[in-house]
Amino acid sequence: MLSSNFIISAIKYFLTLIFLVGLTNLANAQVNDSSTETGEVLFEADVIEVNQQEGTIIAEKNVVFEQGQYRLTADKIIYSKLNSTANAHGNVVLTTNDGIVSKADEIQLDDNFARIIATPLLTELADGSRFTASSGERVEGIKAIYRDGKFSPCICDYEAGETPIWDLRSSLIYHDIQTKTIRHENVRVHVLGLPVVFLPWIAHPDPSVNRRTGVLAPVLSFSEDLGTITTTPVFLVVDNTSDIEFRPKITSNRGNVLETRYRKLWDNADLNAKFYAGNVSTFDSNRELVTATDIELSSNIQNDWKINLDLKRSSQDTFLRRYNFNSDTILKSQFNGSKTTNNSFYNVEFSETQNLTDTDSEKNSPILMPSITFENTRKGFSKFQIVKTKMHANHVRNDLGHDIARWNIEQTLVASNNTNLGIIDNEIGYLGSLYYINQRDDDYTMTGDISRANIHVSSSWKNHYSYQMNQNALIFEPKIKLTFIGGDDKNNDIPNRDAADFRIDAANMFLTHRFQGYDYVMPGARADIGLSAFTNSNLLGSLHGFVGVSKRYSGQVPHGLTTGPDSDLSDYVATFSTEKDSIYTFSWSGRLNSASSNLDESKTKLSANFKNTSFTLAHTQLTKNYFTSADNDLEEASISVAHKLDNGVRFSGTKNWDLSDGTVNSNKSSFLISWSDGLQDCLTISLGYENDPQSDRDIKSTETYQFLLNFKYLGGVPYDSN
């Protein structure tokens, strides 16, 4: 016999089934109604009452109402199918597909649910920006209006009583969704709850906008040299792939400069151009008309060629640095085209360098017209051989008084064999060079046509040896290379313009031609010996070291191998590095004089991270014998530190010292303290200091203090003092 509980449960199930069938029929009728485009209407609630005759549904308790682009929750919803309206009451939360959340005590949806009227209204955009108002309405895809409203992009817990760092309070807030603009009428800017600025209106893009035509945040600074400096940028969107920005820099003491920035993007090209024009004070006159260009263009053209154009030019030496547009002391303009295939490389380059420091600038402004390079690798006579071909031609003018044209061809046959005793590499090749020297400015007078022919032969051996130590592998790699370069030694006849700054190190020790250019070739025989080691330590991390030396058996000792002119043994070259996860890295490289045991060069760098602190220490030392005009050894040191506090405050600083001649002189240094994370992601406060003791002509050594308040979406209010 069936129990009474079972009978009651069955009756409930049957009635529920009848209700769901009826509700489904009502929903299907809504979808098929051509007078609406609202999509299917779905309800979930603890209590639902359906009136088929009036076409209404009343849902109460834990109501969820979904209709196309909306999802609405409330205590009670009355939905009218005939009028395509819905009224929600109590704890109403309306969420759209684009992430906008609106909360109210009462919300009315009409016009096929495209229009929302709420009292009161709280709206949160997808990025966390928040509107509150005594009342408001929203027409989907068109506009939103908030009366007696507040707007703030600050991220804080409003429900817990937290208040934003700053907000805008207005009699009317109009959000134009189509133009993505938010406009505030009769607005008061409140910071920490206090009114600080009153404006008749203010407008800014909504958070979805990446670019917008309009006036950007103005910049105000003060300088002892330039006086009061104001910059009010104007940004103009030309189309979806190009824009222009005008940045007038107006000074009270030294004149005015207009900087114009233009950007353009194509499918296979990218243009970024800056133009400068002004009437400013220079070391030549009280007011001088100045202009400058900085144009960068990159493009991919047919047959996989990559083109880069970099045009930099200034009509006057110092105004770019003096007005903080560009700190470079040389401006290099160049055109470069390159192509890389599986076995070939092509490169064409034109360049011109403008010197902004040398008083005789024409003498030290080299022009490269042009430089052409071709490299090719192909199979040799056996499967163990390859043939490398390099051809190069260039013409350089105004290079410290030199005017030289040069043609080079180099071919090398390389054979590599992996034997039981190790890897043996053999090379044989030639280098042919033809020079035409039109003008030179050095201790030699040879001009006209000069030809040079050299052959090179080398053989090298290396092997790996592995040992197990305390569950860690210790790997050694010894390497020996014997090299002979024969042929013409015309280093006194050919000016060295592309290999003058040579110093032996671990990277170039085993190269056949250790000088990276073509001008300097040192015939003779030598042996290069080196030993590399690698291991991994649980305490110190990965460790790598190298030590090597070069022994010359014939030919002259080239400058850069050692400070002593008579030694056939090069400096001892050594490197050491260690790294432990992301905790620290340490590297040291140096050269020890083989005759005097003096340290000719050393470079040391240590970087470490401890919780919220990171720092880098660097030290460089080089003996004066490597510099033609040096009176003392070169020695420099620097430190940079960054620290983040738990409350979002960040501190960073850099300091540089010149330690030459046994003295300690301060070079450029800077410090910055900022606070952003603790300010609800809507306000950044920073205080910066920079000291640059360098001076040049009319550029004075400066100390700069900067205080910056940056309001999210509204821009920054900085204060600079020199």
How far apart (Å, rounded) are the C-alpha atoms in residues 220 and 222? 7
State the Cα–Cα distance between residues 318 and 331, nearest whole angstrom.
12
List the domains of the chain with CATH numbers. Answer: 36-205 (2.60.450.10), 358-367+400-610 (no CATH)
Q: Which residue has the tokens 């008084």?
A: 401
What pLDDT score was predicted for residue 717? 42
pTM of the model: 0.69
Residue 124, strand partner residues? 101, 130
Instruction: Judge residue 118's burial from the number of C-beta atoms within 10 Å of its C-beta, 0-12 exposed, 13-18 middle, 19 or more buried.
Output: buried
Joined tokens for residue 423: 């890897």
List the chain residues with pLDDT less than 70: 1-41, 112, 159, 215-220, 224, 358-363, 564-566, 626-631, 677-679, 694-710, 713-722
For residue range 298-355, list pLDDT tens digits in order: 999 888 899 999 999 999 888 888 888 888 888 999 999 999 999 999 999 999 988 8
Residue 422's region, left for phi above 0, alpha for psi from -120 to 50, else beta, is left
Handedness of CA 72, 78, 79, 80 (dihedral sign): negative
78-97 CB burial, b ≥16 within 10 A, e <16: bbebeebbbbbbeebebbbe
- Residues 11, 33: Cα–Cα separation, whole Å: 33
| DSSP classification of residue 569 | B
Q: What angle do CA 221, 225, 231 make, to 5 degrees?
A: 30
Return d(Cα 542, Cα 190) in angstroms, integer.
Answer: 55
Report the candidate in 247, 271, 267, 243 with the shortest Cα–Cα distance to residue 257: 247
**Using only C-alpha atoms, what is the Rg of the chain?**
37
b vs e for 587-599, b when ≥16 Cβ sit within 10 Å of the residue's Cβ?
Answer: bbbbbbbbeeeee
Tell me which amino acid residue 170 is. Answer: S
- How far is 212 from 206, CA to CA, in rounded Å? 10
Instruction: Give the number of other CB atoms < 10 A from CB of residue 38.
Output: 19
Using DSSP's 3-state secondary structure scheme, residue 295 falls into strand
pLDDT single digits (tens) 198-228? 888 877 777 777 777 776 666 667 776 777 7
- 6 by DSSP, 3-state: which? helix
CA distances from 178 to 112, 128, 266 (A): 19, 20, 26
Measured CA to CA, the distance from residue 192 to residue 212 in angstroms comes to 29
Phi and psi, residue 20, nearest 5°: -65, -35
The torsion angles phi and psi of 583, rounded to 5 degrees, stand at: -85, -50
Q: What is the pLDDT of residue 503?
A: 83
Cβ atoms of 199 and 189 closer than 8 Å: yes
Distances 524 to 169, 364, 427, 483 between C-alpha atoms, Å = 83, 34, 16, 8
Give the pLDDT confidence score for residue 549 in this predicted structure. 94
With b for 16 or more beta-carbon neighbours within 10 A and e for fewer, the 188-203 pattern comes to bbbeeeeeeeeeeeee
CA distance 171 to 153: 18
Q: How far apart are CA 514 and CA 504, in angstroms?
A: 8
- Cα–Cα distances in Å, from 676 out to 153, 269, 348, 648? 13, 37, 48, 6
- Cβ pair 407, 419 in contact under 8 A: no
Nearest CA-CA partner of 485 in 452, 437, 461: 452
Distance CA 522, CA 505 (A): 17
What token pair was written down for 315?
Answer: 């009509």
Long-range contacts of 631-640 (CB under 8 A, 24+ apart): 631/661, 632/660, 632/661, 632/662, 633/660, 633/661, 634/660, 635/659, 635/660, 636/660, 636/667, 639/615, 640/615, 640/616
CB distance 38 to 68 below 8 Å: yes
Give the Cα separation of 408 and 390 in Å (integer): 8
Beta bridge partners of 666: 657
DSSP secondary structure string for all residues of 652-712: EEEEEEE-GGG--EEEEEEEEEEE-GGGTTTEEEEEEEEEE---BTTBPPEEEEEEEEEET
- Measured CA to CA, the distance from residue 563 to residue 573 in angstroms comes to 13
Predicted pLDDT at 61 = 87
User: What share of residues in the chain are helix, strand, coil (percent, to 5)?
Assistant: 5, 60, 30
pLDDT score at 365: 81
